[in-house]
Amino acid sequence: MNVDKVSGFMKENKMATFTIFAYLVVLIYSPSLFFDSLKMTSMYFMEMLEILPAVFIVMGLVEVWVSRDTIIGIFGKGAGLKGRLASVLVGSFSAGPIYAAFPVCYTLLKKGSSVSNIVIILSAWAVVKTPMLIVEAQFMGLSFMFTRYIFTVPAIILIGMITGKVISKEYIVKNSRKEGLLVEKIDQELPGHNCGACGYDSCHDAAEEIAEGEESPDVCVHLEKEEEKKMERLMGKEVLEA
């Protein structure tokens, strides 16, 4: 086996490396525990396979078909109470564990949702989704379920609002390791005058084209050489020094 390849994999997938290591330790220590763990894992794995592909297909379609303005209108900063309730609603009719909610919220954020509303979606997804409430009523009784719901909905709206105050969208754009935010990163480099000199209606539209490689950064007349280079670096292009 190629050593470079192995160490490269380990660096890129720290979590997986750690997990494999933990399993090896357990295998040496107790093979029966090892197989029990695998059995437990396969149950979670099946749950993931039922949900993730469907969630991602829906989100892929949202990304392509739903316009930015629509998302801003529903989940954007100006959406107010209606936006909060819409977020609770989306979370309530979701399926699957919270990790399936991360990519969904991330897509919505990219499309113009506010930080507080994606936190509300995340939380509602986690604690008040409908299938969960049904199981809860079955085992804990209706009054337990109902009381928890009454307390939880205002609580998650509050959590969302506080997180939205503390964390800016710019912070997430800078710190996310997902590539999809490239458009936002490029958009931040653009001047934001929406002057239209590049032929696009807004800087954001131009950023989308630049991110996809359909357009070169120098389409923007306001950019200095330095900024153009920075943008190309963002896009992972080698900048050739003249």
Partner 1 sequence: MDVTTIGLIVLAVSLLIWSTWKSKIKTKKSLKVAKDMFKGIVVEVISILALIGLFLTLVPPETIRVFLGDTSVTVATLISASFGTVTLIPAFVAFPLAASLVDAGAHLVSMAAFITTLTMVGFITAPIEIEYFGKKFTFVRNVLSFVAAILISLGMGLIL
Contacts of 153 (CB under 8 A, 6+ apart): 88, 124, 128
Q: Which of 69, 144, 196, 199 binds partner 1 (CB under 8 A)?
A: 144
Min CB(83)–partner 1 separation in Å: 18
Residue 162 binds partner 1 (CB under 8 A): yes
Residues of this chain, 11-50, that bind partner 1 according to CB under 8 A:
13, 15-16, 18-20, 22-23, 26, 33, 36-45, 47-48, 50
Residues of this chain, 101-120, that bind partner 1 according to CB under 8 A:
102-103, 105-107, 115, 119
Separation of alpha carbons 89 and 123, rounded Å: 11
Residue 131 binds partner 1 (CB under 8 A): yes
Q: Are 222 and 193 in contact (CB under 8 A)?
A: yes
CA atoms in the 13 A half-sphere facing the CB of 207: 22
Residue 10 binds partner 1 (CB under 8 A): no
Q: Which of 10, 72, 85, 132 binds partner 1 (CB under 8 A)?
A: 132
Residue 51 binds partner 1 (CB under 8 A): yes
Min CB(86)–partner 1 separation in Å: 17
N-term to C-term CA, the chain:
41
Residues of this chain, 66-95, that bind partner 1 according to CB under 8 A:
93-95
Min CB(192)–partner 1 separation in Å: 23
Residue 200 binds partner 1 (CB under 8 A): no
Min CB(48)–partner 1 separation in Å: 6
Whichever of 135 and 195 has its CB closer to partner 1, that residue is: 135
Q: Are 135 and 148 in contact (CB under 8 A)?
A: no
Residue 197 binds partner 1 (CB under 8 A): no
Q: Which of 171, 193, 199, 201 binds partner 1 (CB under 8 A)?
A: 171
Min CB(70)–partner 1 separation in Å: 15
Min CB(202)–partner 1 separation in Å: 21
